[in-house]
Structure 1
Amino acid sequence: MKSRSRSMLEKSISAMLSAMEIYNKPDFKYREESFSVLCINAWELLFKAKILSLSSNKIASLYAMEYRTLKSGEKSKLSRPKTNRSGNPMSISMFEAFRIITEEFGSKIEKAVIDNITALSEIRDNSIHFINDDLLLSLKIQELGSASLQNYANIVKSWHGDILSRYNFYLMPISFFRGFDEAPGIMLNPKEKKVLDYIGKIEKTYDDDDISSYNLTLRVDIKFQKVKSDSGLPIQYSTDSTATKIIITELDISEKYPWDYQNLTTRLARRFKNFKQNNNYHSIRKVLETDEKLAHKRYLTPGSTTGIPKIFYNPNILKEFDSHYEKS
């Protein structure tokens, strides 16, 4: 049975693939708007899958909480889930999910990622005002979208391993759909111009020479060139034909060991009032890292046991620190 976090991750990937498929259709009149909606949906599900993974798949970790007003007129001391019109618990927003991941769990996400998502959200929220035939706006959406796909693939790989290797994350260059030389001039309406101005202000804060793996926008250039292909079929060789093959995927590992060093340290600081990130902490942690039930080493090259590994932790490791520190 799939865990909640894995099911939500798979939904996120499906949403992003749908966004690409719609954008890359030869003739689709609502291309940019549909892409923006599905792309933002994919990001929100990805963030929520991460929270579930970091919270031992507790669905309550995604509830939007509130302090209700009592009959006396005072606010309750205990928070309860907000409910929607049907009475079901409401979920946190994408931006609140981002805050929880970065602040409460201590996971680092590059600023370019959230700036890119914010810009795409602005396009999604204002899509009803867009002029679909405008080349300038369409090009800007593609630049944001191309960067968003690259950022998404990089974060998924960082959090869950190389699970997207079978997909090609790209948007078909806009030149396939429209002729640049024949593009008619068109006046943007005020609301549309405000969106482009907003994106332009954000772009000015980024250096064109930045070599980071994460980007706000990406400009796509294309040229056609004849090439020779010497591609072949990959094969797998095993010296033991009678051995039972067991495959453990990167996704299985990331579910069992969802925390990295920063996540662990942040949670310990919130759990214990006398916790300090010092040599004593590092000594305790290094001993616990030898227990395969609590920690897993992931090397840069799959299957390799050389080099400097990155260590991931099972949330159960928290209990092992209870005898060393005082709970808050």
Structure 2
Amino acid sequence: MSAIKESLLENSKSAIIAGIEIHNKPIFSYRYEITSILIINAWELLLKAYIAEYNPEVRIIKKDGTTKPFEECLHFVSSKIGNSFRTTEENLNKIYEFRCNVIHFYKDNLDAVLYSLLHKSVYFYNDFLKKYFNNDLAEETNLILLPIGFKPFVSPIDFLNKESILNESSSSVQNFIKSIIYSTEKLNKEGIEESILTGFNVSVVNENRVKNADIIAAITKDSSKASIFVNKVIEGKLSNDIDAQKISIEEESLFKTIYTLKYNQVTNKCREIYSDFKQGTKFNKIMKSIKDNPDFHKKRYLDIVSKSGSGQDFYSNKIFEELNKNYTLKS
């Protein structure tokens, strides 16, 4: 069994390095298909080595000569290790899903998302190898993943924010993106903060306890219904109360994620959804009171530091919670 374990480990390391080398080739038209196959193969061998080392009573070679399939190995190892392996399990499930259904993705470009999944999987792989086999590939190979190309790097967030790409994508791609979002939500509900994707942005920083957070954007055809999932969510609402808990949010990001509606967009929406809406004294009075509530309104100044210069009013989608109290929704 020891000899089998050593062979599994060496072959696994060869597969992961081959996957990295293939991915980093400047010209390789079948890049993500081959890389995904090699990464899954590397993990399958590594998981079998783990079973051979820590659970030798479990047969990885069946009587008919076949070996325990990848999905069974993954589920078994996850059941033994528990929560600390859950993010790795979800990450590998997504890569395996792509590998098994790759023919459905041929006409679409998922490079940014696949890169992020695979990059994180390689990171998880080396962590697992160090923890359970005292072997650090980072030191052994002195390899740092720094892809250099002829185009600016595109993160999954950039990709997912381009509505045209998603709207024109096949149902297979859209379902794949939804499955990534579902995995993230599932992990969050389990209290697991690690993301299945390589992290690119920090959206909220607690001033008293700084912590990085990966994010995934779920974009629908209706941009007003875009959703952001953050590994660690700080619940609360905007407030002028000087005693309220303080968090730092970049000014620019507020007008991309929260205060996204201009005045005319609000009035147009009102005409669309309310049967008794009139842009008159009643509406003006409501809007005046709304401007005093930071949940609903924020002015964007030309000089954001001194808050001077001509500014423009922007409103959050929450404004309709208040307007619903004063107008009748169309049936």
Instruction: Give me the TM-score of the superposition, normalised by structure 2.
Output: 0.50
1:33-52 matched pairs, under 5 angstroms: 33-52=33-52
Deviations 1:82-120 (A, max 9, x none): x3xxxxx221112212343354xx444521010000011
The corresponding residue for 1:176 is: 149
Q: Distance in 1 between matches of 2:106 and 2:53?
A: 40
Q: Distance in 1 between matches of 2:112 and 2:149?
A: 12
Q: Are residues 15 and 220 of structure 1, via their aligned partners in 2, closer, same or farther at CA, if it must alter by over 3 Å?
A: farther
User: 3-state SS of the aligned residue for 2:26?
Assistant: coil
Tell me the C-alpha RMSD between the 2 structures. 3.2
Q: Distance in 2 between matches of 1:12 and 1:36?
A: 14
Q: Distance in 2 between matches of 1:189 and 1:15?
A: 31
Contact 1:146 1:170 in 2 (8 A): no
1:1-328 matched pairs, under 5 angstroms: 3-55=3-55, 61-64=59-62, 81=63, 83=64, 89-103=65-79, 106-108=80-82, 109-131=84-106, 134=109, 137-164=110-137, 165-168=139-142, 170-173=144-147, 176=149, 178-179=151-152, 186=165, 187-206=168-187, 215-220=195-200
User: 3-state SS of the aligned residue for 1:176?
Assistant: coil
Contact 1:153 1:169 in 2 (8 A): no
User: 3-state SS of the aligned residue for 1:4?
Assistant: helix
The corresponding residue for 1:67 is: none
Q: Are residues 95 and 128 of structure 1, via their aligned partners in 2, closer, same or farther at CA, if it must alter by over 3 Å?
A: same
Deviations 1:29-59 (A, max 9, x none): 1111111111111110000111122355x8x
Q: Please report how far the alpha carbon of residue 219 of structure 1 lies from its aligned counterpart in structure 2 after TM superposition.
A: 3.2
The corresponding residue for 1:298 is: none
User: 3-state SS of the aligned residue for 1:216?
Assistant: coil
Q: Are residues 98 and 133 of structure 1, via their aligned partners in 2, closer, same or farther at CA, if it must alter by over 3 Å?
A: closer
Q: Distance in 1 between matches of 2:34 and 2:186?
A: 28
Deviations 1:58-84 (A, max 9, x none): 8x82134xxxxxxxxxxxxxxxx3x3x
Identity of aligned residues (%): 27
User: 3-state SS of the aligned residue for 1:218?
Assistant: coil
Flag the structure with larger Rg: 2
User: 3-state SS of the aligned residue for 2:141?
Assistant: coil
Higher relative contact order (CA 8 A, sep 6+): 1
Contact 1:32 1:138 in 2 (8 A): yes
Contact 1:23 1:171 in 2 (8 A): no
Gaps of 5+ in 1: 65-80, 84-88, 222-328
Q: Are residues 169 and 42 of structure 1, via their aligned partners in 2, closer, same or farther at CA, if it must alter by over 3 Å?
A: farther
Deviations 1:226-259 (A, max 9, x none): xxxxxxxxxxxxxxxxxxxxxxxxxxxxxxxxxx
Contact 1:116 1:148 in 2 (8 A): yes
Q: Distance in 2 between matches of 1:205 and 1:45?
A: 27
Q: Are residues 169 and 133 of structure 1, via their aligned partners in 2, closer, same or farther at CA, if it must alter by over 3 Å?
A: farther
Q: Are residues 211 and 177 of structure 1, via their aligned partners in 2, closer, same or farther at CA, if it must alter by over 3 Å?
A: farther
Q: Distance in 1 between matches of 2:181 and 2:14?
A: 30
Q: Please report how far the alpha carbon of residue 166 of structure 1 lies from its aligned counterpart in structure 2 after TM superposition.
A: 1.9
Contact 2:91 2:197 in 1 (8 A): yes
* Count, aligned residues: 188
Contact 1:12 1:41 in 2 (8 A): yes
Contact 1:120 1:144 in 2 (8 A): yes
Q: Distance in 2 between matches of 1:219 and 1:116?
A: 13
Which has more strand, going by share of residues? 2
Q: Are residues 211 and 189 of structure 1, via their aligned partners in 2, closer, same or farther at CA, if it must alter by over 3 Å?
A: closer
Q: Distance in 2 between matches of 1:156 and 1:132?
A: 36
Contact 1:142 1:171 in 2 (8 A): no
Q: Please report how far the alpha carbon of residue 205 of structure 1 lies from its aligned counterpart in structure 2 after TM superposition.
A: 4.0
Contact 1:143 1:220 in 2 (8 A): no
Q: Distance in 2 between matches of 1:32 and 1:13?
A: 19
